[in-house]
Structure 1
Amino acid sequence: MLTVDFDKLGLRQGQRVLDLGCGAGRHAFEMYRRGARVVAFDEDAAELENVATMFGAMRAEGEVPTGAEASTLTGDALALPFPDESFDHVVASEILEHIPEDEKAVHELTRVVKPGGRVVVTVPNRFPERICWALSDAYHEVEGGHVRIYRIEELFARLRKAGLRPVHRHYAHALHAPYWWLKCAVGVDREDHPLTKLYHRMLVWDLMRRPWLTRAAEELLDPVIGKSLVVYLHKPGVGVG
């Protein structure tokens, strides 16, 4: 399940891209499949082992074009181990809401993208996220959990202060918001509740089959209850080749 639209990002084959806080690697895999030179970066070394294994499997199965590259690196988003202007693009999906010093993280990701490059940031959308927080403390009061709910003006102010200029935004995953409301209502750690199990089966079915009805419904609902806010930004300067 992808949150980022890589056509809107302007991703092209051969470009060097950082997936900051890559987690399980869903965006890194798609960028690798599209022929980018990807660095999957995260603080979780165990998670990155799985990402590296998947990169290897993709290579072995011939799923990536000639020239595509992929590597993993463990580190701290507040002190990225890369020189200035190292990447054509940076993806930071669902990471800033976990970081107390988010302005420092934004400064770092801005530092490592080239002038003319693009950044895409995704965070939980305020309205559905507030419902989750209201329904369950356990949803966010965990180690490494969400430390804030962004107002869009607050997020944009942080990004502009770092030197980025927003160029487009949209919302994603409206069908996933009710799932998380159910999880929060019945207990986020409960895997056996019939309502959440049933809804999860529907989400998996939708992901695999992508029927027109649910696709149309999500497109209509995304601006209202989309689980994620997705912002595409430009770093002023000479265009990336």
Structure 2
Amino acid sequence: MTTYHRENNLDLSDQNKKAWDSLYASTEDLIWGSQPVGFIDIFMPYIKNKLSRDPRILDAGAGEGRNLPQLLTLSDHIVACDASEHALDKIPAPLRSLLKTVICDLEAIPLDDGFFDFILLADVVETLPDPRPVLHELHRLLKPGGLLLCNIPGFEDSIADIDMEAIGENQYLYQGRYFYRFVYQDEAIALLESCGFQMIHHQLCSWVEAAHPSFRSDAHTHSSYVFLVEKAG
């Protein structure tokens, strides 16, 4: 099992946040494009059936907002947060006018306990030197029975350790700057359960991504375990 040592990751976390913010500032193009991440459509029918009317929804680590059009089909009450001001500034203006944006660290989101019915955490966990504080924070923000949808990739992902420098157990730097961690399925489940979530459903999903400007030059396929979990009522 991978051991997460928060005390050894503080400097790395700060450097990592600066690297991602610098990436978003490096080009006017959308790094991740405008299409939603490939696994959301698979889970949308269940989420729609589970949510109450007019739910409050958080896109945690929203980046440039690629997933916001999907979330806006669920509710008019959307909050998008990210540690990168440059990322949130790149959310297209028509989308940004429909929601609230919050610049903050994901482990310290300035909103009340039990505020949200549903949280999306897409392509984030693997980029966190220590994901536990973030997952605990999202657990705090969910109502009892609230849902979290997140992906946690392992070594089945085609990008795992490609052009990456190993810096620890299952820990890497991509291009010498961007932190990644890949874990096995049982480790991912144990992580979520240790942060207070109960498993509803999980499955391995695969999807194709176009090249990402200033980040990854070729189209590539992602394979990642995706988890739908809830906060116990």
TM-score with structure 1 setting the length: 0.67
The verdict on how the C-alpha distance between 1:116 and 1:144 changes in structure 2, with shifts beyond 3 A counting, is farther
User: CA–CA distance in 2 between the matches of 1:168 and 1:17?
Assistant: 19
Residue 74 (structure 1) aligns with: 103
Equivalent of residue 136 in structure 1, options 160, 163, 176:
163
- Kept in 1: contact 2:207–2:223 (CA 8 A): yes
Q: Structure 2: 5+ residue runs without aligned partners?
A: 1-35, 166-171
Deviation at 1:11, TM superposition (A): 4.3
Equivalent of residue 71 in structure 2, options 4, 21, 31:
31
- Kept in 2: contact 1:173–1:226 (CA 8 A): yes
Higher helix share: 1
Q: Structure 1: 5+ residue runs without aligned partners?
A: 60-68, 204-224
- Kept in 2: contact 1:12–1:36 (CA 8 A): no
- Pair 1:229 & 2:225 matched: yes
User: CA–CA distance in 2 between the matches of 1:53 and 1:190?
Assistant: 26
> In the alignment, residue 200 of structure 2 is paired with which amino acid?
V
Residue 127 (structure 2) aligns with: 98
> In the alignment, residue 227 of structure 1 is paired with which amino acid?
S
Deviation at 1:33, TM superposition (A): 3.2
- Pair 1:115 & 2:144 matched: yes
User: CA–CA distance in 2 between the matches of 1:73 and 1:233?
Assistant: 24
Structure with the greater alpha carbon radius of gyration: 1
- Kept in 1: contact 2:154–2:160 (CA 8 A): no
- Pair 1:55 & 2:95 matched: yes
User: CA–CA distance in 2 between the matches of 1:189 and 1:121?
Assistant: 22
- 1:153-188 C-alpha deviation (Å, 9 max, x unpaired): 111111111111011112323445xx88xx9xxxx9
User: CA–CA distance in 1 between the matches of 2:185 and 2:112?
Assistant: 30
Deviation at 1:125, TM superposition (A): 3.8
1:114 match: secondary structure? strand
User: CA–CA distance in 1 between the matches of 2:63 and 2:216?
Assistant: 22
User: CA–CA distance in 1 between the matches of 2:101 and 2:180?
Assistant: 26
> In the alignment, residue 60 of structure 2 is paired with which amino acid?
L
1:150 match: secondary structure? coil
Residue 167 (structure 1) aligns with: 200
TM-score with structure 2 setting the length: 0.69
1:107 match: secondary structure? helix
Question: What percentage of aligned pairs have identical amino acids?
Answer: 23
The verdict on how the C-alpha distance between 1:189 and 1:76 changes in structure 2, with shifts beyond 3 A counting, is closer
User: CA–CA distance in 2 between the matches of 1:189 and 1:48?
Assistant: 18
Deviation at 1:17, TM superposition (A): 0.6
Residue 42 (structure 1) aligns with: 82
Residue 18 (structure 2) aligns with: none
Higher strand share: 2
Deviation at 1:94, TM superposition (A): 0.9
- Pair 1:124 & 2:153 matched: yes
Equivalent of residue 181 in structure 2, options 129, 148, 155:
148
The verdict on how the C-alpha distance between 1:52 and 1:11 changes in structure 2, with shifts beyond 3 A counting, is farther
- Kept in 2: contact 1:12–1:35 (CA 8 A): no
> In the alignment, residue 232 of structure 1 is paired with which amino acid?
L
The verdict on how the C-alpha distance between 1:143 and 1:165 changes in structure 2, with shifts beyond 3 A counting, is farther
User: CA–CA distance in 1 between the matches of 2:177 and 2:149?
Assistant: 22
The verdict on how the C-alpha distance between 1:31 and 1:189 changes in structure 2, with shifts beyond 3 A counting, is closer
Equivalent of residue 86 in structure 1, options 98, 108, 115:
115
